[in-house]
Amino acid sequence: MSSELLDRTFAALADPTRRAIMIRLAQGEATVSELAEPFDISQPAVSKHLKVLERAGLVTRGRDAQRRPSRLNDAPLRVVLGWLEEFRRSREESFRRLDEVLAGLRAEETHTEKEGDV
């Protein structure tokens, strides 16, 4: 799994406007002007956000006569989800081992208390 791809993807998704653009593009392709409508930012600002998303591989831009629609590309998101799943599994394993240690300590403590009662 490419660290560079993860870095670019997380950096692109760090901005709330870019995340909102991604949510909008999940509904279907859109032009810069269509994407700018719900935001209080200019079309050039939306274009800059799209360039960041494009560099991260999250968006592709096509050409359709006079239109340049942007489309969501979810391949980098699948890589991120895979990385998150690996991270989740490693954390779960760490917590499982910690639970075992705690259970052993509790059992030891209970055993010691019972010996003290004798």
pLDDT in tens, 61-97: 988 778 889 999 999 999 999 999 998 888 888 888 8
In this structure, is residue 113 part of a structural domain? no
Q: What is the CATH number of the domain that holds 22?
A: 1.10.10.10
| pLDDT, greater one: 6 or 116 | 6
Give domain status of residue 14, yes or no. Answer: yes
In a domain, 47, yes or no: yes
**Full residue range of the structural domain in which residue 45 is found:** 3-74
- Whether 89 is in a domain gets the answer no
Give me the number of domains the chain comprises.
Answer: 1
CA distances to 13, 26, 32, 88 from 21, rounded to whole Å, are: 10, 9, 10, 27
